[in-house]
Amino acid sequence: MQENPQKTKVLFIITKSNFGGAQHYVYDLARELPQEKFEVVLVCGGAGALVEKLAATKIRTILVPSLVRDVSLFRDLASFFALWKLFRTERPNVVHLNSAKASGLGALAARFAGIPNIVFTAHGWAFNEDRSFFSRGAIKLLSWLTVMLAHKTIAVSAAVRHDTQSWPFISNKVTTVRNGIEGVSFLSREEAREKLHLPLDSFVVGTIAELHPNKGLAYAIEAVATLTSKNPDVYYIILGDGEEEARLNALVRARGLQGRVLLPGFVNDASRYLKALDCFLLPSIKEGLPYVILEAGLAALPVIATTVGGVPEIIEDQRTGILASPHNTTALAGALDQLIASPTLRTSLGTSLHKKVTYDFSLDQMIASTSALYKKTA
């Protein structure tokens, strides 16, 4: 039963509890919603960095072990009934859904449980990934059904919302609330390089990302490979872990980049190390509105990123960064070459991006806009 009837009780639902973009979003909302007005509970499929971080803030977590990313009829049915029972027991005012699997099952369970306000955040659409025509069509249909079942859908960028424009019966259901960010406690350049075992006098390109096909990291490694003969002091470090680790390490070996391209694995609070870099690179194939670019902006780094999702809403080519088309090793290498050659350009782009992120991507604005949706029932 609801322990604090004077407060709005919000259950955040998410599949994975690592610390990618969707988890970052849930963490910020759960931690920053005013405690005198909201009671917050996290529901997820397993213990991970998100659970650990929220535990430190005394936010209650409920684990649903059957809630996993991979499709499984038995587990998905178990997850549906577990969520339905949970909603009936907890009786939240708001169920806030994140990630495709948890959102589809959660929206349906919340409807059956009679939840008065179901909010779904679209962090990016899985049908924009490299998949077969039929797979993309099926995912698009399921995404539309999730939006239909939710009372309100938040698109984290105008691009994410634009992808829904042709969908029937949802014109008033989708609203854009861009991700916002607060300050990061950066390590100094020297301390960050020392902890990451990077030479102090080298040019370091870096990426913070889950090692997933959506991140296009193989294209970045190939781009660096084309530059090493001309630029022997260039290093590339990728902070993160994931399913692509073995394939990416094999590519590094195949290109003879051992010791030059570094994959140290997951680094806790990786954004604190951004000052170690001379340039931030995000070669993604699919994005919503990536937090890592906002964090790189707070660090005043020059950024190279691909023209996917909401990235161009942060990066204006040659003004707040450099844009390249996805799947394009040549474009990435050309952008890197341009930044390596021009310290003045690096400083100009980093300063401009810092100003844009500071003024246009406020965490306070994101919290205010999202909490306003919690007050609106169907």
Please name the residue ranges forming H helices in the chain: 21-32, 49-55, 73-90, 100-113, 133-149, 158-162, 189-196, 217-227, 245-254, 291-298, 329-341, 343-360, 363-374
Instruction: Identify the domain containing residue 258 by its residue range.
Output: 189-360
- Structural contact between residues 310 and 160, judged by C-beta atoms closer than 8 angstroms: yes
Structural domains of the chain, count? 2
| 78's tokens | 């178990």
Quick one: 316 and 222 in the same domain?
Answer: yes
Residue whose C-alpha is closest to residue 329's, from 207, 223, 218, 238: 223
Residue 352's CATH number = 3.40.50.2000
Quick one: 366 and 348 in the same domain?
Answer: no
Residue whose C-alpha is closest to residue 100's, from 54, 59, 146, 65: 146
Quick one: 153 and 272 in the same domain?
Answer: no
Query: CA 74, CA 81: separation in Å to the nearest integer?
Result: 11
Quick one: 279 and 367 in the same domain?
Answer: no
Q: CB neighbours of 260 closer than 8 A, spacing ≥ 6?
A: 224, 228, 234, 235, 236
Parallel, antiparallel or unpaired: strands 60-63 and 152-155 = unpaired
Distance, C-alpha 246 to centroid of its chain: 22
φ, ψ dihedrals at 232, nearest 5°: -70, -10
Burial of 134 (0-12, 13-18, 19+ CB in 10 A): exposed
- Whether 300 maps to a domain, the answer reads yes
Quick one: 165 and 195 in the same domain?
Answer: no
Question: Rounded to the nearest 5 degrees, what angle is found at the Cα of 128, between the Cα atoms of 295 and 20?
Answer: 30
Quick one: 368 and 344 in the same domain?
Answer: no
- Whether 3 maps to a domain, the answer reads no
Quick one: 313 and 353 in the same domain?
Answer: yes
Quick one: 28 and 171 in the same domain?
Answer: yes
pTM above 0.85, yes or no: yes
Per-residue pLDDT of the chain (378 residues), as tens digits, is 455 568 999 999 999 988 989 999 999 999 999 999 999 999 999 888 899 999 999 999 999 999 988 877 889 999 999 999 999 999 999 999 998 889 999 999 999 999 999 999 999 999 999 889 999 999 999 999 999 999 999 999 999 999 999 999 998 999 999 999 998 999 999 999 999 999 999 999 999 999 999 999 999 999 999 999 899 999 999 999 999 999 999 999 999 999 999 999 999 999 999 999 999 999 999 999 999 999 999 999 999 999 999 999 999 999 999 999 999 999 999 999 999 999 999 999 999 999 999 999 999 999 999 999 998 754
Quick one: 46 and 156 in the same domain?
Answer: yes
Distance, C-alpha 120 to centroid of its chain: 15
- Whether 1 maps to a domain, the answer reads no
Give the chain's radius of gyration (CA, Å). 21
Quick one: 289 and 278 in the same domain?
Answer: yes
Quick one: 134 and 209 in the same domain?
Answer: no
